[in-house]
Structure 1
Amino acid sequence: MDDMDHRILSALRACGADPRVASAVRGLSLAGEHGALWLAAGLVGAAVDGTRRGSWLRGTALVAGAHLAGSGVKRLVRRERPGHIEPLVRTIGRYSFPSSHAASATAAAVAFGALGGYGFAPPAAAMCLSRLVAGVHHPSDVAAGAALGALTARLGARWMTGGRP
């Protein structure tokens, strides 16, 4: 698995040689710190969709929970970030598994998608991919983060919608 992670990461990181790609990756990285982009999106959803404000706020809480869960697992697993390539961005921590950016992005796509916010999936996928192009995560880190985010949102779906399917 490590060899496959290494090869995939090297190939995707090479895409960051294009200055336009590198700029987009840096922007996504900054926007995704601590799940900020997704938390803000959830709060906007709550502000504009008054009839489902509570659902949007609970969905936003699920996004925060996915991010926090990812950060907690990182401290337990302690997998080092990739060392064989030069990253495009700085990171707050030195551990990489799972990707908290991927966890919060995927949780937002799943939770807000359940509320009709289907437009969240493409930027969430871009966020996940950007972590590889940035060279700060192994592919398995991103896959695990995305799985954690999806699981968090699915487990909280009934709570988020107030018990409605």
Structure 2
Amino acid sequence: MTRWAASWRSTCVRRLLPAVEETAEHTRLWWGAAVILSATGWRGRRAATAGLASMAVAELASNCVLKQVWHRRRPPKEWISHQEVHDRPDSSSFPSGHTAAGVAFSAAVATVWPWAGAVCSVPAVMVATERVHTGAHYPSDVAAGAATGLAATALVHRAPQLVRRLLL
């Protein structure tokens, strides 16, 4: 599956996916989305806050915990037939932190404002696709990143209830 995704030759794919990934680098895409959401009123501010909180938990879980526990090499360079293969990180491949952040942000936004969450999910899927296309991750790394993002969203969504139960 990794070889198949890396072999996509479409000009649109070759231009669009790297641009989306570059924008998502260091979570800039999601911070920008949070700024735009915040400018739309109280619902947008709530959605942005939920998105950023979930993204932070997902980033911590994927980059500071899971990548330290499971070290997995990136897909072999020979599987990737284009130039992006040389621009891969040295960290563990499992799980995809980019995917975890994008899914966490989008899913959390969707819990507050479903329409905005649906809009945010489009670049999140594109980032996940790009991670496999460029050989930075195996599809299973992306799936684990998505699961991490969803778990982070569930945790952040339930956090107020959990805190109330602990305090009572």
Aligned partner of 1:14 among 7, 21, 31: 7
- TM-score, length basis structure 1: 0.81
Q: Deviations over 1:114-153 (max 9, x none)?
A: 1211212222112111111111100100000000001101
1:5 is matched with which residue? Answer: none
* Mean CA deviation greater in 85-94 or 113-122: 85-94
1:97 maps to amino acid: F
Q: Tell me if structure 2 keeps the 8 A contact 1:22–1:88.
A: no
In structure 2, stretches of 5+ residues that fail to align are 164-168
Pairwise CA distance, 1:50: 3.0
Find the partner of 2:84 among 82, 88, 97. 88
What's the TM-score once normalised by structure 2's chain length? 0.80
CA distance in 2, matches of 1:51, 1:138: 36
How much does 1:58 deviate? 3.7
1:129 is matched with which residue? Answer: 129
Aligned residues: 154
> Gapped runs of 5+ residues in structure 1?
1-7
CA RMSD of aligned residues (A): 2.4
Give the share of equivalent positions with the same residue, in percent.
29
SS at match of 1:152: helix
Q: Which protein shows a greater Rg? A: 2
Residue 52 of structure 1 deviates from its aligned partner by 5.6
